[in-house]
Amino acid sequence: MNIIELLTTPGTASTIVIICLAAVLGILFGKLSFLKIKLGIAGILFSGLLIGHLGAATDAHVLHFIKEFGLILFVYSIGLEVGPRFITSLKNNGLKINLLASGIVISGFFIAVAIKFIFDVPTSVITGIMCGAVTNTPSLGAAQQTIGDVMGATENIEIAGMGYAVAYPFGIFGIIISMILLRVIFKIDVKQEEERYNKEITGLDGKPIAINVEVTNQNLFGKSILFLKDTCSNNFVLSRIKRNDDFIAADSETILEKGDILYGVSVESNFKYIQLNLGKINTTKDVEVSGKLGMKQVMITNKKLAGKSIKQIGISRQFPVNITRIYRNGIELMPKEEDSIELMPKEEDSIEFGDTVRIVGEKKALIKVASLLGNSVKELSHPNILPIFLGILLGVIIGLLPINIHGLPAPAKLGLAGGPLLIALILGHKGRIGKLDFYMTPSANLFIRELGIVLFLACVGISSGKYFVQTLLNEGYIWMLYGVAITFIPLIIVAVIAHTLKINYLTICGLLAGSMTDPPALEFANSIAPIQAQSTAYATVYPLVMFLRVLLAQVLVLLFT
């Protein structure tokens, strides 16, 4: 069989070749930048549309199987990743921004329903447009499966894919435009918002400055570091102590002595208080960790510790060592400031399997602590295959169970998107059932997620490409306008409400990107200011939003079938 026959004769081999071709072209296309914005992985959808438009011959059954299996891999890996923080994201300030994000999801759904009623848009079309307008791929997969179950015709499934593709581009730009408009309308000073966020995180009002303090207050001699933290935590963040020309860890039970020099961070407005209550202040330049004190980067591979807080693990109680940094998926979880400032994680912060932590303390204790935390490259590289297939098995079974909702003409199902997502959230949150753990290394999780979304988007594009150009020329511009309404109206309304509630602008940007589960929008939000507010908000709302998107896409189909 020559290359021409391979591309024009439907079959398993030709289908796989065409999918791989769409993936390669799409990944390259997604790297192209327009106004500093990249389509990223979504470029595969448009390369698939092009290949489908050119008449590539594929086996419909093989294409359908690969599409569904890719979707399962994608949503399952997402569920495992966000599961550990799913419950905690609903607490405290997380509850407020989750409610706002849910408002964006639900209002977008009702706008889609209104468009359906007012303009008599076919169900498969408005469903695809809604999924594309919110840039949520799993919801499209769930909707297409429901369309296939209750409407039957393959044409309806393909039309939903076309609606998704038409609405998707403005879905990305609409989020970014909302961020910019909010900033312009309310004349927001990003620098002030950055400082306000840092104050909320560190408890320090102003730009943190690295300092060292020579303890001269005799009332502190004989007192513990815990006493110092309780009385001065809002004025001075302590990281290490210099005693007799040697550095020691700032252990909570360490007793202060005459001549101790405390290294840490504060702001200029607190200097007078510190000088009065602690001692003489000097600005700190880069200080090497030397003497008895050492520093080590350690990987968390002890699965018994995964998900526990620093306080629960109790490293500083057992050893003269502190955790001063936490890195997750290559991202530092605490803000990193200039001038060698040490902002240590809080006792309530948790660590997960695969995290890397920086520990500072006595050199003799570092090896023992590293052994306690795991620090095993072999353990980290193990893919843990059994829980993956067990979880997918349970997810598919759960997804097929009918859910009777009053008012719907047919039972809803979580489907091949919702079922695995729900199970993965539960397993990710639990972490372990008996001796079976469900932790997946970040690299393995990322690989499965990327593979799944590449397969799914390539298949959606190829299957929807045949009539895409024709549809775009005939009524595509109207579909785009529907998508604009579904994207923009909920975003701008909720953004204004969030600003009225005095939520930090950078947090709002992360909230808007997370409500659409859109990585390109998060990249833009992160470029506004070099802090973690945007990513934290994105991760906080992501789990709940993803679940609601998948469920409501199916409800929209069932309501009008």
Model confidence at 367, in pLDDT bands (50, 70, 90)? confident
Backbone angles phi, psi at 350, to 5 degrees: -105, 160
The answer, yes or no, to whether residue 285 has pLDDT greater than 70, is no
Query: What per-residue confidence (pLDDT) applies to 509?
Result: 92
Is residue 310 situated within a structural domain?
A: yes
User: For the CA atoms of 256, 260, 265, 267, what is the dihedral angle to 10 degrees?
Assistant: 100
Is residue 128 situated within a structural domain?
A: no
Going by their DSSP bridges, the two strands 261-266 and 279-283 should be labelled as unpaired
More confident residue, 186 or 439: 186
In this predicted model, what pLDDT tens digit does every residue of 48-66 receive, in sequence order? 888 888 888 888 889 889 9
Is residue 316 situated within a structural domain?
A: yes
Query: What per-residue confidence (pLDDT) applies to 92?
Result: 52
In this predicted model, what pLDDT tens digit does every residue of 55-95 receive, in sequence order? 888 888 898 899 889 888 887 887 777 676 666 556 556 78
In this predicted model, what pLDDT tens digit does every residue of 307-366 receive, in sequence order? 678 888 888 778 878 787 787 655 555 433 333 334 557 777 777 777 788 887 777 788
CATH code (residue 319): 3.30.70.1450
Give the pLDDT mean for 385-406.
Answer: 84
More confident residue, 210 or 514: 514
Model confidence at 205, in pLDDT bands (50, 70, 90)? low
Is residue 480 situated within a structural domain?
A: no
Domain limits for position 319: 294-328+345-380
Number of domains in the chain: 1
Please state, in angstroms and rounded to a whole number, the distance separating the CA atoms of residues 120 and 531.
46
Please state, in angstroms and rounded to a whole number, the distance separating the CA atoms of residues 266 and 271.
8
Is residue 233 situated within a structural domain?
A: no
More confident residue, 234 or 117: 117
Is residue 323 situated within a structural domain?
A: yes
Q: Can you count the helices (H) and strands (E) in the chain?
A: 23, 15
Is residue 374 situated within a structural domain?
A: yes
Helix (H, G, I), strand (E, B) or coil at 369: helix
User: For the CA atoms of 519, 327, 532, 241, what is the dihedral angle to 10 degrees?
Assistant: -170
Query: What per-residue confidence (pLDDT) applies to 234?
Result: 61
Is residue 353 situated within a structural domain?
A: yes
